[in-house]
Chains A and B, each alone.
Chain A
């Protein structure tokens, strides 16, 4: 059974003139990491906000445990089983409050030992209990992101939505945070929607990967299959653009053109203007088809 189900969700801005997300469906199961990859402007963060119940979709539904998730806005959403971790821990944590008091925000009101519960979350992310008394500026970026994860855990979530959680961190801190996230999913069996522009990172972490381009999912499937045999030309372009550590590999390949304005997406397949394989049929929009490995392409 899926914990979090996003079904045909669209997100609109500017009074409907810009459709940032257009009919996206995906689901997250317990103990599963779903990677959502795409470049800037593809709508992945808009989707994250809707999936976390921070804003309401223009169309479609988000359900948590089979019940529709209502967009609650900031104040009341602490109590839901869906929690979010953001890109920049320096702005997602309050600089003037101690770590403990911010952790307590998330701990459910009726719990007997609330303080003990909060401290336990710190050790879960590999931080000492002493960290509870400190303020955000006393931590490095990587440690602070672990505090942010602990705060999300304090509410006892079953789903964590992580939007570019390591993008702002140093390489060595990145690896540490990724390890913490992977371990949590294994130990607590929470489901995770891991959003990133970094396909290499998603490859390393996610069980299932969905690739987004200009508001739509163009390919999704088990991560290894998608990585080894990408079917959509955009997925292939993303993989080819990743610089290899191998000195003889040659320079990574660039994708020609620019992402179109989401306010005026191209007719037919949205990737068509940049696609090296585009042909007549691409003038109509391909549907996302397939069983486990799904792709929206006529090739």
Chain B
């Protein structure tokens, strides 16, 4: 496995838990989906992997990347050429007053010690790779001259500059129109095969993952509550939360989940989803469910709905 995260736990002084228990992995050339609502810890997981946590954050658990265990310092060293990231809002990710060319070449010259000419050639190559029309002209342009979809392509090109092995994409299509979103999804899938790039795709929309991600992790309150092959998770969800998320998106079901999502800091003792769960039993209020295997690679953290069926 390229990335192997085991029992990652992050808390801020207080102590306020942000992530309670996150285990996930991703192989080379594999897209792994991370699905969850706000406060579930999906973005915080990304920040932990990049060493972008707030000051004073306490981290336990292990992160193995590309054959070695990452500590705080090596996490920062990996940033860019090992693990790179694209964000939700490409407008905020790019400086409005610098040309695209400058923004794409500056970090290549600084970190990869490329000459001006080489960096420019590389930038052109990257813009071609992300299928931006007229890359020569784009290098001279400023961010406001591009549409949201084009800017996201530029941001992806920038992230690819140092040939990362893993790209973390945090809601990269949420701010985009649906027809443009489809183009970005196709681009990421193409980069995966062309560059053997692993992608952690963070989203609130399970539909986006359906045909993109080989495997999916569902986050709730700072934990991975269900994981498995995307097809298994979508067709045969075992965790009541996954099921409720799918129902909320399905036009025909008309059912909505009561209550609101909680973050790790507000999570009750026992199962964090218990207060909103239709299958809740007394034990759910006191016992934190461990992730247990349903069948090969498919795991769910629920006391009630197990591999043997509903207890």
Give the interface of A toward B (CB within 8 A): 39-40, 140, 142-143, 170-176, 178-179, 197-200, 203-204, 237-238, 240-255, 258-259
Q: Does B182 contact A (CB under 8 A)?
A: yes
Residues of A within 8 A of B251 (CB): 200, 203-204
Structural contact, B178 and A198, CB atoms closer than 8 A: yes
Contact among A172, A237, A258 for B149, CB-based, below 8 A? A258
* Stretch binding the partner chain, chosen from B101-109, B162-170, B201-209: B201-209
Against A, the Cβ 8 Å flags (1 = close, 0 = not) of B163-200 are: 00000000000000111111101100100000000000
Q: Does B231 contact A (CB under 8 A)?
A: yes
- Complex Cα–Cα for A249 and B208 (A): 11
- Complex Cα–Cα for A185 and B235 (A): 33
- Complex Cα–Cα for A197 and B180 (A): 12
The interface residues of chain B, by DSSP majority, are classed as: helix
Structural contact, B211 and A241, CB atoms closer than 8 A: no
Query: Could you name 13 residue pairs across A and B whose Cβ atoms are closer than 8 Å?
Result: A172-B245, A172-B248, A175-B256, A200-B251, A244-B210, A245-B207, A245-B249, A246-B234, A251-B182, A251-B185, A251-B189, A254-B179, A259-B147
User: Which 4 pairs show the lowest CB-CB distances between chains A and B?
Assistant: A175-B256, A254-B183, A247-B231, A255-B179
Q: What is the chain B residue whose CB lies nearest that of A274?
A: B179
Structural contact, B260 and A143, CB atoms closer than 8 A: yes
Known: A140-B260, A172-B244, A258-B147. A241 touches B210 (CB 8 A): no
Known: A142-B260, A171-B245, A243-B210. A252 touches B182 (CB 8 A): yes
Structural contact, B204 and A170, CB atoms closer than 8 A: yes
Structural contact, A254 and B257, CB atoms closer than 8 A: no
Residues of B within 8 A of A39 (CB): 177-180
Structural contact, B177 and A254, CB atoms closer than 8 A: no
**17 extra interchain contacts, Cβ-Cβ under 8 A, other than A251-B212, A252-B181?**
A39-B179, A142-B260, A172-B261, A174-B248, A175-B249, A199-B178, A203-B251, A244-B207, A244-B211, A246-B210, A246-B234, A247-B235, A251-B182, A251-B186, A252-B178, A255-B180, A258-B150
Contact among B38, B204, B249, B256 for A176, CB-based, below 8 A? B256
Most buried by B among A200, A247, A248: A247
Residues of B within 8 A of A172 (CB): 37, 244-245, 248, 256-257, 259-261
Q: Does B45 contact A (CB under 8 A)?
A: no
Structural contact, A243 and B205, CB atoms closer than 8 A: yes
Q: Does B148 contact A (CB under 8 A)?
A: yes
Q: What is the chain A residue whose CB lies nearest that of B259?
A: A172
Against A, the Cβ 8 Å flags (1 = close, 0 = not) of B258-278 are: 011100000000000000000
Residues of B within 8 A of A245 (CB): 206-207, 210, 234, 246, 249-250
Structural contact, A241 and B205, CB atoms closer than 8 A: no
Known: A171-B245, A199-B178, A255-B179. A249 touches B204 (CB 8 A): no
Contact among A175, A179, A238, A259 for B178, CB-based, below 8 A? A238
Q: Does B230 contact A (CB under 8 A)?
A: yes
Residues of A within 8 A of B38 (CB): 170
Residues of A within 8 A of B208 (CB): 243
Known: A247-B231, A251-B189. A170 touches B37 (CB 8 A): yes
Structural contact, A171 and B37, CB atoms closer than 8 A: yes
Most buried by A among B150, B186, B248: B248
Residues of B within 8 A of A244 (CB): 207, 210-211
Most buried by B among A142, A172, A246: A172
Residues of A within 8 A of B148 (CB): 40
Structural contact, A242 and B178, CB atoms closer than 8 A: yes
B282 to chain A, nearest CB (A): 24
Residues of A within 8 A of B250 (CB): 245
Residues of A within 8 A of B181 (CB): 241, 243, 252
Residues of B within 8 A of A198 (CB): 178
Known: A171-B249, A258-B149. A237 touches B210 (CB 8 A): no
Residues of A within 8 A of B256 (CB): 172, 175-176, 178-179
